[in-house]
A and B are shown apart, each in its own frame.
Chain A
């Protein structure tokens, strides 16, 4: 990419390293960090929305809805998250294609499942086999976002469910005494009040979400783990201008340091937010979070 890098064989020492670290593939590696950050930025609010929906459903007075909400929370929390990732990446894909198949090819008479094959008509393929590479990548990314949101939504639902119940009963009763309906109480009292109770759990969840982000690799997205394995493996002079031995250990050490820095910074920021929000609030949360790494953990490690 730089003029001085035109002939790598003449380079040595730091200039070799500089040219090595700025090859096209390395730039893709650095770009993959952007993908991870984007995934986190998009997933967090979506997961929160799922969590809100789950918590409201679990609290519902309509029994089937309440069972549904509780089952969502219990099942997702009871099964390893990685199993969900592996499951949804195929299941969602097949589900979407099945729906499109039903809608677009109504006169198709063969069965969709033929032994070990899943056959839908060409128009129902998602994305279409004619579409560009970037469409496939964007589609894969959105499947990943949805899967992450679904799994972490259950954890968020658990936190928000607890937070809604932690709102002091006296406040609810006061609101009722003012003649508010159930719906008004929920909107005007419960929801605004619950956040301070939810924050320790949610910040913990954010940490767990950060630490789950390398699982993107299992969803087939070309993320940092993919590139670290790819770039670090032994390169022979036949295939690259920059031959080297097995450097995967160093690449993963770099990822380790990246994640340590990321979680540490998140923690400092979240502690500040907590301090600010709990100013003047007589909750245990305002004093409880001590120690450099935070106290509790309520998610998959």
Chain B
């Protein structure tokens, strides 16, 4: 069987398309590369969904935590504390068993016990809390002069926030937020090891890597493949976030060069 055939059979295996049976003996390098790559679809899915949805909540949490009214500040502080103070691994377990018992009472919660939704919800709250704290820190360090300048232009309330405070916050938070994005993608590997079942062996990259390591009893092939994929993914995340960062800073002198170097420093520092 050629490598092309393997790709056709197992390329979308993690989503349930193609050959159902996983290879059981005579494992080839090609099978391992293809299946682990197929699992990466889930890692990218969880990461992108959590990052995009979490961004909105993170902004709300940051503004809430900086708010002078206790009605907004306290809940935001508590959400951030709960999700940053406890391990993601335990959060996954707890959420899974919580959804499981909710499902026992209300069948509508059925979807939450499967990984594609349940784990995404946990990751959404988790990354929102971490990013919320980053944005809050950035919000606190917005230069006073910019806010005063906005006041002088007659901006107030929503328009001041949207046109002055928020863009500067993002600009300041961007390097740290890039780091958070990288670690979020890494954290997605926990999903299938923490209660959430991989139905019909449709798992993520680490799920397949550990499957091969268990079957061949040789960890020296699947895990380096996985590491390669993740280093690639990390570089892509740095690249994309760097592009956005450059756009955020496009009005600043020498923004392009500074951002590019800044982006790489976040990981190879």
Residue interface bits B66-87, CB-to-A below 8 A is 1, else 0: 0000000000010011101111
Inter-chain contact A218/B231, CB cutoff 8 Å: no
Inter-chain contact A253/B94, CB cutoff 8 Å: yes
Inter-chain contact A260/B133, CB cutoff 8 Å: no
Partner of A75 from B189, B193, B210, B227 at Cβ < 8 Å: B227
Partner of B137 from A74, A94, A295 at Cβ < 8 Å: A295
Partner of A290 from B140, B179, B206 at Cβ < 8 Å: B140
B201 contacts chain A at the CB level, 8 A cutoff: no
Inter-chain contact A117/B206, CB cutoff 8 Å: no
Q: Output the nearest chain B residue to A76 by Cβ-Cβ distance.
A: B227
B55 contacts chain A at the CB level, 8 A cutoff: no
- Top 9 A-B residue pairs of the complex, sorted by shortest distance between their CB atoms: A80-B186, A249-B97, A252-B94, A87-B223, A211-B87, A90-B219, A79-B227, A248-B97, A259-B86
Inter-chain contact A86/B137, CB cutoff 8 Å: no
Within 8 A of B (CB), among A246-279: 246, 248-249, 252-253, 255-256, 259-260, 263-264
A25 contacts chain B at the CB level, 8 A cutoff: no
Inter-chain contact A297/B234, CB cutoff 8 Å: no
Within 8 A of B (CB), among A55-75: 70, 74-75
Q: Output the nearest chain A residue to B25 by Cβ-Cβ distance.
A: A116
> Which residues of the partner chain A approach B17 to less than 8 Å between Cβ atoms?
none
Q: Output the nearest chain B residue to A70 by Cβ-Cβ distance.
A: B268
Inter-chain contact A296/B223, CB cutoff 8 Å: no
Inter-chain contact B87/A83, CB cutoff 8 Å: no
> Which residues of the partner chain B approach A162 to less than 8 Å between Cβ atoms?
269
Q: Which residues of B contact A (CB under 8 A)?
A: 25, 65, 77, 80-82, 84-91, 93-94, 97-98, 100-101, 126-127, 130, 133-134, 136-137, 140, 176, 179-180, 183-184, 186-187, 189-190, 193, 206, 209-210, 213, 215-220, 223, 226-227, 230-231, 234, 267-269
Contact A225-B269, Cβ < 8 Å, known A81-B186, A90-B213, A260-B82: no
B31 to chain A, nearest CB (A): 14
Within 8 A of B (CB), among A196-246: 210-215, 217-218, 225, 228-229, 232, 246
Partner of B85 from A161, A214, A263 at Cβ < 8 Å: A263
Within 8 A of B (CB), among A152-173: 158, 161-162
What bracket does the count of chain A residues touching chain B fall in? 35 or more
Bound form: Cα–Cα A111–B215 in Å: 18
> Which residues of the partner chain B approach A300 to less than 8 Å between Cβ atoms?
183, 186-187
> Which residues of the partner chain B approach A229 to less than 8 Å between Cβ atoms?
93
Q: List 14 A-B contacts (CB under 8 A).
A: A70-B268, A80-B206, A81-B186, A82-B193, A87-B213, A162-B269, A246-B100, A249-B94, A249-B101, A256-B86, A256-B91, A291-B137, A293-B84, A297-B84
Partner of B206 from A83, A253, A299 at Cβ < 8 Å: A83
> Which residues of the partner chain B approach A75 to less than 8 Å between Cβ atoms?
227, 231
A128 contacts chain B at the CB level, 8 A cutoff: no
Bound form: Cα–Cα A116–B25 in Å: 8
Question: Beyond A210-B87, A246-B100, A255-B90: 20 further Cβ-contacts under 8 Å?
Answer: A70-B268, A82-B186, A82-B193, A90-B219, A91-B219, A94-B219, A211-B88, A214-B87, A225-B93, A229-B93, A249-B97, A256-B94, A259-B86, A291-B136, A292-B77, A293-B81, A293-B84, A296-B137, A296-B176, A301-B183
